[in-house]
Chain A
Amino acid sequence: MQGVKEKAIELLRSKSVDRVVGWKAGEFFYDLTPAVFTSVPEVEQSFVWSVFCAANLSKYLIAESRRGGKVAAFLKPCDTYSFVQLVKEHRILRENVHVVGVQCAGMCDMETIRSHGLSAVTSVAEQDGALRVETLYGARTLDRKDALGEKCRTCKSKKLAVYDELLGEQGCDEDNGRFLEVARIEAMTPEERFAFWRGELSRCIRCNACRNVCPACSCETCVFDNPDSGLRNKAAADAFEENLFHIIRAFHVASRCTDCGECTRVCPQHIPLHLLNRKFIKDINGLYGPYQAGADFDTKPPLMDFTLHDPEPSQAAVRGGGV
């Protein structure tokens, strides 16, 4: 996408905003860091828009929108849902944010590229829809889709939920089979499911990256950090402790999670945490009708709503699971 950096410069130069939240160049071509830019030279020097801008900038706006003045943020379609959800929860002050929507063709993920056995990668270049990956030990060409992060492979929508101005075209909802993996697990026997999740969750090191990156986990104090909650524990202890953490976390964000996929992207242990959130989303869609958190500013989240004839818990597995 052309024009992202230029837009940042234009916004700052015209003084229509005081700050711009974007991505800053790193040591390599891929290690971009979310950053706040306050001057045109800063942007010219280190602002980057590339296929490695996977980070969801919405959560930073909780603080940035309260810092005084106007802040511009570049939000990809998936990020806009988090943004709307946070505005809805009164976390982001909408009036202080200028949302520049940026259409997106999916972001590459270095861990995914490495998972193809590529190491010491020195550059990645787009070439006729494919990616040319140069490493210290030779070069290889990857299909673009093979380099995408999980969240982009199963992108739910290219439609921006909100923007003040848009770079690129407004897109529409996509079906990239984001529930297929959930359905695959649902189809397992309980023993297989248990084994699957034990295998995945036992790798958890309780680094809290999933929680701290999650836009829905924006609590002032997390229950797991609060000594009075009775749940405080920072240790990834035997068996159930990490299950408890992830179940409670998934439940706390249920019906507020926009499925932005950041939890899985940042997990250093490659735990497919999105499969927990997506299970809730799939169940909610199946049991209470389709709902996309952050798609609009007014709909009540399904867990804060009810109808007189909701299915009974005993029917949950049958109807929600859809096995």
Chain B
Amino acid sequence: MKQIAKTELDTLFAAITAEQKLYIPADDSAGQAQFTLWRPGLALSGRLNTARSAKDLFFPQVENLVGFRMHAGAIERVETREEPEDFVIFGVRACDCRSFSILDRVFLSEPVDTFYQMRRAHATVVTLACTRPEETCFCAAMGVDAADPAGDVTCWLEDGTLLWRANTEKGEALTEKLPMLRPCPADAADAQQARTRALMQKLPLAKLDLSAFGAGKTRALFDRPEWASLSEACLGCGTCTFVCPTCQCYDVEEFRDGSSVRRFRCWDSCMYSDFTKMSAGQPRPTQRERFRQRFLHKLVYFPENNDGVFGCVGCGRCLAKCPIHMNIVKVIKTLGVTHA
């Protein structure tokens, strides 16, 4: 365990930036935290978490896959991929850090998505333990310990001091390059962790019961009549999907300018009405089916295919951001009540 005074954070960030790119949560012009490329003077946000999730750094909203140049009948493939520089992402909360392992299960399973893989390989994740959770947090219910996040390095901010613990080789390597970090007792974070854990238990959603969900529950949940009322106000926008740290549906589209074509990948949302639309028909014709797909995917399908792991980390972004305040917690609570 190492430490550095909070007042020296700039020195720490400058030292990291000297080696590689550094992203930290900083407030944007609308006062929300966003992962932002650090530059001298950029302050660490005081907010609990970023408005957009940390997945953006590994699975950006839009990325080029490949280009084509067309020559009278012939096609020339143009490489558009650029190898990213190494980067450090600082201040990732426990929930978002957990989301990386969920995304890994999708993108790093065969066939491996090399774009994602490449970014993951270049990144060092420095997490930051929570101390003041929001009422919307329910990471504990998803098995996340907000007081002890994973990542290559774990940090705690406590009384003007940043505690730093390298967890992996990558973390160690980064730590070695940061001489300003000074050793401190291994139990320096214990008190804070205990406080946070106690606090987590007091949160309104701490006792969220997930027993009705998980692998094998498709039949029990698929035809529940509550889907209709749950989804009736849904606008079919992509807000929940796009702020979600684990949503990873994407679309492959093309941009053409006559002689050349760029094929790119962009985020897509299963909540969109055209997501599964084909010329032959639409397997999910109304918002009810689309809504059901999103939540069953997180709560049943994903766990079934991934050793029981839920596709949700309890970050609470969708609770805060949904225009009509419909969210996974309401779904869990509504469907969690089994019929008599």
Contact = CB atoms under 8 A, between A and B. Distances in A.
Q: Do A and B bind each other?
A: yes
Interface of A: 26-28, 30-36, 55, 60, 110-111, 114-115, 117, 119-122, 136-137, 199-200, 203, 205-209, 211-213, 225, 233-238, 262, 265-266, 268-271
B337 interface: no
A234 B204 contact: no
Which 9 pairs of residues, A with B, have the shortest CB-CB distance? A235-B266, A270-B30, A266-B323, A31-B325, A212-B235, A209-B237, A212-B237, A268-B321, A207-B238
Among B233, B242, B319, B333, find the residue whose CB has the most chain A CB atoms closer than 10 A: B233
Nearest to A119: B134
A225 B272 CA distance: 10
Given A207-B238, A269-B51, A213 B323 contact: yes
Interface residues of B, number: 55
Contact of B325 (A26, A199, A206, A208): A26
Nearest to B47: A119
B132 interface: yes
B253 A27 contact: no
Nearest to B205: A27
Interface secondary structure of B, over-half rule: loop
Contacts of B330: 26-27, 33
Contacts of B121: none
B207 to A, nearest CB: 12
Interface in B43-70: 46-48, 51-52, 61-62
Interface in B274-333: 274, 319-321, 323-327, 329-330, 333
Given A60-B233, A120-B135, A235-B61, A209 B325 contact: no
B29 interface: yes
B204 A225 contact: no
Contacts of A136: 132-133, 135, 199, 202-203
A41 to B, nearest CB: 14
Contacts of B326: 33
A200 B30 CA distance: 8
A225 B333 CA distance: 33
A120 B31 contact: no
B266 A137 contact: no
Contacts of A268: 51, 239, 242-243, 321
Given A234-B268, A268-B242, 20 more contacts: A27-B333, A32-B325, A33-B326, A60-B233, A119-B48, A120-B133, A120-B134, A136-B202, A200-B30, A203-B34, A205-B61, A205-B243, A206-B242, A207-B238, A233-B253, A234-B266, A235-B62, A236-B62, A265-B323, A270-B31
